Amino acid sequence: MSTDDTEFTGSPLHVPMLHITTHNASGQAIIHSTQKPIAKLYPKHRFTATTLYSTSTMPANLNADADLDAHTTLLKNVNTPIVQPNGTILRFADFAPNSHGFMHRTQSLDYGVVLEGTVVLELDDGSTTTMTKGDTAVQRATKHAWHNPSGTEWARVLFVLQDCAPLVVEGKVVGDDLGSARGALSARGKD
pLDDT digits (tens, 9 = 90+) for 132-153: 999 999 999 999 999 999 999 9
Count other Cβ atoms within 10 Å, centred on residue 113.
Answer: 16
| Structure confidence at residue 187 (pLDDT) | 58
H-run or E-run covering 68: helix 66-76
| Structure confidence at residue 188 (pLDDT) | 59
Give the pLDDT confidence of 37-54 residue by residue, as tens digits: 999 998 988 999 999 999
Residue 6 pLDDT greater than 80, yes or no: no
Domain ranges of the chain: 5-181
Query: Looking at per-residue confidence, does 28 or 5 come out higher?
Result: 28
Strands (E), 107-165: 108-116, 118-123, 128-132, 136-140, 144-147, 155-163
DSSP category for residue 166: P
- 8 vs 14: CA distance, rounded Å: 17
**Mean of per-residue pLDDT scores for the chain:** 90
**CATH H-level, domain 5-181: superfamily:** Jelly Rolls (2.60.120.10)
| Structure confidence at residue 8 (pLDDT) | 86
Kindly report the pTM of this predicted structure: 0.88
Pairing of strands 144-147, 172-174: unpaired
Yes or no: say if 112 and 158 are a contact pair by the CB < 8 Å rule. yes
Residue 1 pLDDT greater than 50, yes or no: no
Strand order in the sheet with 108-116: 39-42, 47-55, 88-95, 155-163, 108-116, 136-140
Q: Which residues contact 20 (CB under 8 A, 6 or more apart)?
A: 31, 32, 33, 34, 35, 53, 68
What distance, in Å, lies between the first and last C-alpha atoms of the chain?
A: 31
Residue 2 pLDDT greater than 50, yes or no: no
Q: How confident is residue 3, by pLDDT bands cut at 50, 70 and 90?
A: very low
| Structure confidence at residue 145 (pLDDT) | 95
- 86 vs 173: CA distance, rounded Å: 18
Give the pLDDT confidence of 87-98 residue by residue, as tens digits: 999 999 999 999
